[in-house]
Amino acid sequence: MGDAILEIEGLTRRFGSVVANDEVGLRVRPGEVVGLLGHNGAGKTTLVSQVVGLLRPHGGSIRVVGVDAVADPGTARRCVALQAQAQAPLDGLTPKEAIVIAGRLRGMSRSASRDAAERMADELDIREWIDRRATPDGGGISGGVRRLTAFAMAAVAPVPLIILDEPTNDVDAARRRRLWNMVRRLGDEGAGVLLVTHNVAEAEHVMDELVVLDRGRAVASGSPSQLRGAEGDEMRLELSLPLDAQDPSSQEPPFRFVRRVRNGRRVLLSLAESDAATAVAWATALRASGRVEGYTLTPTTLEDAYLAATADAESIHEESAHV
Amino acid sequence: MSEAITRERREGQALPPIPERAHLGMTVWTLLRWTMAQTGAMMPLFIVVQAAIAGAVVVGFGLLVPDIDAPTAELLSTGAPTILILVIGLVLCPWGVAGARTSGTLTYQRALPVPRPLLLVADLVVWLVIALPSIPVTVLVARLRYGIEYSIDWPLLVGAFVLATIMAVSVGYATAMLLSPMMSQLVSQVMVFFVMLFSPVTFPKEQLPEWFQAVHSVLPFQAAADLLRAGLLSDRFEPSGQGLVVLIVWCLLGLIISVRAVIRRG
């Protein structure tokens, strides 16, 4: 207690009869990058909106650097830089002007914010567009460069807590990597980072902790390796089913699986490494008989754990019945 | 391995200090620059629109009156700036606010580390700048069409312009914040018809039935028109104390509702 930059306890927020956040708890300590994962509508943006004082919670507490963000949202906002999911209002500005404005609003001098803008333009590789003016209706600069500029606006000044809501939307693969490196650096320099993303696979290597939200509730939390399975020797067998085909794993495969998640025409089975050879033989036979279109066997990823944590009640029931 | 190292280092880290509040003057100036860059880009279009409305009111309304006499021409010409200011405040401003609400701009700005009423201040100043050409444009058109000689009381004219514009913009802003974007657009359209056709702005109030005159004595449209007219033709029209009070009350009402809406948490 007391050493966290962001400390959320029992946070509850309803919209009519829908409970968007249901007793959610979360901590971000200095130097820590915490991922907040969840499907669309899981309550991620609702949570973020309460931290920056856009929404008032119906229950629970939010403390930012020890400040009660519900009672004193103005002070809490000074401690938080948010890159919102919606595009930042850049029309009429160049990326450099926008980053300088963001720095100035946080009390940076003109020269310091200009230097920071130049430095980040190189770090994110957007120098080519740094002096190009954004025009209304998405003209002037691309959506990806707008997103990177919004990220730089959130990261320009040293603040205790940086909240990034889907920072890599529209961003190309090379620059996404640069952005993730910068997120990690912000954490290493002592900031707390709350990272809201769907991009589990890419964000995995920058996150220290993660919380999975599902329908308003925190259904899993821990470090990536804890969520992936502490042993680290699990394998994932992914079966691609033909259209309208029955899931072949529902008829007792010749090995034990610890988790099963069906995602459209994909079935993901988590199994022990020692069963890999049996599983491959089984899947090869299924492919030969046309019951599956193809299969892959890979080490379990965080995305598998995330999908398992957010799988619907039916598949959770199926798993426990089988194991 | 790297996770363990990171965690070990983190344990020893103290909480960072709460950042200082940025200097208020710098915050206002920076917000103004930002708002001006966004809305100001439309400035040439706004000037053209104002010139077109000035022409429509001064020349177009004049065509409805056969053998127009000097007092009628004066009323039309000195009512036209009020029409422009009301169109800017009650139509263009809500249009801008509705756009900012739907695009997420307003949400973005409300999450910034600045006192939220300053967002309204920046908007007010920018709309004041946008409304500035309303008076020279109408004066020019009226001189060209009717050859009117103005007797301007500058302090009164400037005061009336600022007060009328802040009233119109704050009422428009409040409407756009309280209603859904679609609904506020609809209300704007109705208001502009009411102002242009059913308000004693470009014609004498005696042309209205008495009960409607009583309604207009507490609405801000006639009050704004009378005050601006007294500033433009100071040798023929006197500013009314009651009109000033009505305008100030509507101004305060618009500002209070707007500030409450901009600082409010949902």
**One domain, residues A188 and A154:** yes
* CB A64 within 8 Å of CB A51: yes
For the CA atoms of B189, B190, B196, B200, the dihedral, rounded to the nearest 10 degrees, stands at -150
**One domain, residues A70 and A170:** yes
Chain B, nearest residue to A108 by Cα: B22
- State residue A305 phi and psi, 5-degree precision: -65, -40
**One domain, residues A31 and A176:** yes
Instruction: Give A-chain residues touching B16 at CB under 8 angstroms.
Output: 5, 30, 65, 158, 160, 190-191
**One domain, residues A71 and A107:** yes
Assess if residue B53 is contained within a domain. yes
**One domain, residues A314 and A172:** no
Distance between CA atoms of B120 and B106, rounded to whole angstroms? 11
Token readout for A281 is 């033989």
Instruction: Give A-chain residues touching B20 at CB under 8 angstroms.
Output: 78, 107
Please return the burial class of B40, using the count of CB atoms within 10 Å of its CB with bins 0-12, 13-18 and 19+: middle
Last residue of a domain, one of A193, A226, A259: A226
Residues in chain B with pLDDT < 70? 1-13
Residue type at B163 in one-letter notation: L
Range of the structural domain that residue A164 is part of: 6-226
**One domain, residues A204 and A252:** no
**One domain, residues A201 and A271:** no
Assess if residue B7 is contained within a domain. no
Predicted confidence pLDDT, tens digits, chain A (323 residues):
468 999 999 999 999 999 999 999 999 999 999 999 988 889 999 999 999 999 999 999 999 999 999 999 999 999 999 999 888 899 999 999 999 999 999 999 999 999 999 999 999 999 999 999 998 877 889 999 999 999 999 999 999 999 999 999 889 999 999 999 999 999 999 999 999 988 888 888 899 999 999 999 999 899 888 887 654 577 888 899 998 888 888 877 888 887 788 878 888 888 888 888 999 999 999 999 989 999 999 887 777 778 777 775 334 444 443 43
Chain B, nearest residue to A29 by Cα: B10
| Total structural domains within chain B | 1
CATH number, position A33: 3.40.50.300
Last residue of a domain, one of A188, A209, A226: A226
Last residue of a domain, one of A184, A205, A226: A226
Assess if residue A102 is contained within a domain. yes
Query: Least CB-CB distance to A55: which of B14, B18, B266?
Result: B266
| Total structural domains within chain A | 2
Distance between CA atoms of A239 and A283, rounded to whole angstroms? 8
**One domain, residues A214 and A237:** no
Range of the structural domain that residue B258 is part of: 22-263
A104/B104 CB distance under 8 A: no
Assess if residue B14 is contained within a domain. no
Neighbours of A127 (CB within 10 A): 14
Distance between CA atoms of A224 and A302, rounded to whole angstroms? 7
Assess if residue B9 is contained within a domain. no
DSSP symbols for A71-92: T-HHHHHHTEEEE-SSPP--TT
Distance from CA of B128 to the nearest CA of A (A): 19
Distance between CA atoms of A176 and A181, rounded to whole angstroms? 9
Predicted structure pTM score: 0.84
Q: What is the 3-state secondary structure (H, E, C) of chain B?
A: CHHHHHHHHHHCCCCCCCCCCCCHHHHHHHHHHHHHHHHHHHHHHHHHHHHHHHHHHHHHHHHHCCCCCHHHHHHHHHHHHHHHHHHHHHHHHHHHHHHHHHHCHHHHHHCCCCCCHHHHHHHHHHHHHHHCCHHHHHHHHHHHHHCCCCECCHHHHHHHHHHHHHHHHHHHHHHHHHCCHHHHHHHHHHHHHHHHHHCCCCCCHHHCCHHHHHHHCCCHHHHHHHHHHHHHECCCCCCCHHHHHHHHHHHHHHHHHHHHHHHCCC
For residue A300, the number of C-alpha atoms closer than 13 Å in the C-beta half-sphere is 30
Distance from CA of B264 to the nearest CA of A (A): 8
Assess if residue A1 is contained within a domain. no
Question: Which whole-number Å values give the CA distances from A20 to A12, A23, A178, in the listed order?
Answer: 7, 10, 33
Assess if residue A129 is contained within a domain. yes
